[in-house]
């Protein structure tokens, strides 16, 4: 069993706002409340490690009385940082199975939910959107050592549907799920290692999470990358 409590601070997303400025002579402090984001973080979990199986599950919370909520104007051309009370909580679980010395399977699930105070009454009441939190996700992977020199890694990930409790009928605030499969292989040479990988192995046609939840405009609605092959070489020295 493990537990953690911590307090920290960070900056609001200054860059996203400044990149959209089109008026000369504006100063940063006229556009943004630059007070730091003070957060309180708590986590508790369990971890088990048997001979061939390992398992971990945890729950976490991250709260801020003056959080940073990123929003945009109606046509999604300019972004704003709203300083509001925010609460984020989530759970993660990971299960690993070592089939033998050369092969291991892994299954991981992550759930996250974030809410903010939209009317400044001191209570969180509205979901954070896709600009602020990632999707809930299930990831399965298979790691294999075929020979002392040849290894491979295959990963399938699935991003679940998400509905945000914003204004009804806003399609840009609804996320439609998709799954992707990636694969890599590595071969050890006498000096260095040769890598080859394929992302989006099945050439899935999809709109990315950020595109579906962050832009909401046909002119800025980007599809994810199709099947992509990469080859590389690495040398440790």
CATH (domain of 76): 2.40.170.20
- For residue 127, what pLDDT is reported? 84
Q: What is the pLDDT of residue 167?
A: 46
pTM: 0.78
The pLDDT tens digits of the residues spanning 130-182 come to 778 889 999 999 999 999 999 999 999 999 998 876 544 444 467 889 999 99
- Confidence (pLDDT) at 118: 80
62: tokens are 């991250």
Q: What's the number of domains the chain is made of?
A: 1
Closest CA to 59 of 9, 97, 109: 109
User: What pLDDT does residue 168 have?
Assistant: 43
- Whether 117 and 109 have beta carbons less than 8 Å apart is answered as no
pLDDT tens column, 180-232: 999 999 999 999 999 999 999 999 999 888 788 765 556 667 888 999 999 99
**Which residues touch 102 (CB under 8 Å, ≥6 apart)?**
144, 145, 146
Taking the CA of residue 26 as centre, how many other CA atoms within 13 Å lie in the half-sphere pointing to its CB? 13
The arithmetic mean of pLDDT across residues 7-34, rounded, is: 65
Determine the structural domain holding residue 165 and report its residue range: 2-234
Q: Is the dihedral of CA 175, 68, 113, 117 positive or negative?
A: negative
From residue 16, alpha-carbon distances to 19, 123, 206 in Å are 6, 27, 25
């Amino acid at each position: 069993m493990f537990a953690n409590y911590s307090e920290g601070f960070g900056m609001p997303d200054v860059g996203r706002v400044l990149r959209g400025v089109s008026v000369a002579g504006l100063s940063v402090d006229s556009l943004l409340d630059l007070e730091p984001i003070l957060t309180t973080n708590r986590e508790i979990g369990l971890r088990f490690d048997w001979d061939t199986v390992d398992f971990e599950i945890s729950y976490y919370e991250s709260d801020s009385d003056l959080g940073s909520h990123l929003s945009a104007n109606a046509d999604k051309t300019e972004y704003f940082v709203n300083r509001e009370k925010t609460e984020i909580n989530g759970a993660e679980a990971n299960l690993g199975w070592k089939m033998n010395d050369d092969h291991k399977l892994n299954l991981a699930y992550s759930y996250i939910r974030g809410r903010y105070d939209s009317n400044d009454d001191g209570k969180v009441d509205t979901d954070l959107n896709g600009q602020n939190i990632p999707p809930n996700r299930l990831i399965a992977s298979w790691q294999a050592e075929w020979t002392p020199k040849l290894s491979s890694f295959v990963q399938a990930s699935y991003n679940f549907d998400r509905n945000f409790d914003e204004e009804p009928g806003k399609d840009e605030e609804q996320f439609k799920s998709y799954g992707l499969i990636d694969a890599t292989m590595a071969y050890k040479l006498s000096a260095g290692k040769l890598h080859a990988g394929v992302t989006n192995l099945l050439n899935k046609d999809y709109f990315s999470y950020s595109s579906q939840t962050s832009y909401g405009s046909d002119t800025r609605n980007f599809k994810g990358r199709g099947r992509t092959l990469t080859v590389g070489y690495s040398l440790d020295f």
